[in-house]
Amino acid sequence: MSVHYSITQMPPSERPRERLLAEGAESLSSAELLAILLGSGTQKMPVLQLAQELIVRFNGLAQLADATIEELCQINGIGQAKAIQIKACFALGSRACRQTLSPRYKIEHPSHAYHLLRDQVQNEKREHFLALFLDTKNQLITHQVIAIGTLSETLVHPREVFYPAIRHKAARIIVAHNHPSGDPTPSQHDYSLTKSLVATGRLIGIPVTDHLIIGGEGFISLRQKGFSFD
């Protein structure tokens, strides 16, 4: 039988609030950040376990953010007050993200694209294929999910990538997708799809300049690995 310890039983150096103060928010897991937001759990479920339960029940942060007040209140330990807190937090984060990702957001290195997309796809259980549309100065115009696939593969047709690129008057494109396995090592399918997109980009005049594969704890840039995008 598993034993669940409350935060007060944890050593001070391991408690989420103390770790945030000492190490910064980036050092905490999503469950730990959510536990700080919730503040308390129930008699039978410590707050950290409650936070983990929320993330698992809604299959990740993206679906948790979309959950309604009613859906949140169906979770044992989440009353209306906590549900409202969760909705308000995600709404603020969404607004801050929209302001941060203005057309002035410049992508000059693969890590810039990774940090933009990481939280959106890192914990997804299926492959998500995304495209970032940039202007002539490598400033972000917009980004969007192009396709959602299976546990191991996403089927993407070049027209699904280049139609929105033309509509948004993009000068160049960076594409990216996640590997739900957590291993960002490119597959043969990743290479062949990239080759197809690069060829189409040459014909249309909107070059694809990189393809990022995002895993559990990092990413791989095909450009950095030596794949030819020229």
Looking at residue 148, its pLDDT comes to: 86
Within a domain: 56: yes
Q: Is the pLDDT of residue 2 over 70?
A: no
Residue 170 belongs to what domain range? 110-221
pLDDT, tens only, 90-102: 888 877 665 555 5
Which uninterrupted H or E stretch holds 160? helix 158-167
Count of domains forming the chain: 2
Which one-letter amino acid corresponds to residue 142?
A: T
Are 79 and 115 within one domain?
A: no
pLDDT, tens only, 66-124: 889 999 999 989 999 999 999 999 888 877 665 555 556 899 999 999 988 988 887 78
Q: Which tokens go with 73?
A: 């209140």
Looking at residue 5, its pLDDT comes to: 47
Strand ranges inside 80-169, DSSP E: 128-134, 140-148
Within a domain: 12: yes
Mean pLDDT, the chain, rounded, equals 87
Give CA–CA dist 44/40, Å, rounded: 11
Looking at residue 97, its pLDDT comes to: 66
Are 127 and 183 within one domain?
A: yes
Which one-letter amino acid corresponds to residue 45?
A: M
pLDDT, tens only, 24-39: 888 888 888 998 888 8
**How many CB atoms lie under 10 A from the CB of residue 114?**
18
Are 43 and 87 within one domain?
A: yes
Count the helix, strand and coil residues of the chain and give each as a percent rounded to the nearest 5.
45, 15, 40
| CATH number, domain with residue 32 | 1.10.150
Are 71 and 131 within one domain?
A: no
Q: Calculate what percentage of the chain has a pLDDT beyond 90.
A: 49
Are 74 and 150 within one domain?
A: no
Are 96 and 116 within one domain?
A: no
- Contact (Cβ atoms closer than 8 angstroms) between residue 167 and residue 204: no
Looking at residue 99, its pLDDT comes to: 53
Are 59 and 143 within one domain?
A: no
Final residue before a domain boundary, out of 54, 81, 100: 100
Looking at mean pLDDT, say which of 57-61, 172-176, 216-220 comes out highest: 172-176
Are 203 and 163 within one domain?
A: yes
Final residue before a domain boundary, out of 51, 80, 100: 100
Give 144's strand partners. Answer: 131
Q: 208: helix, coil or strand?
A: strand
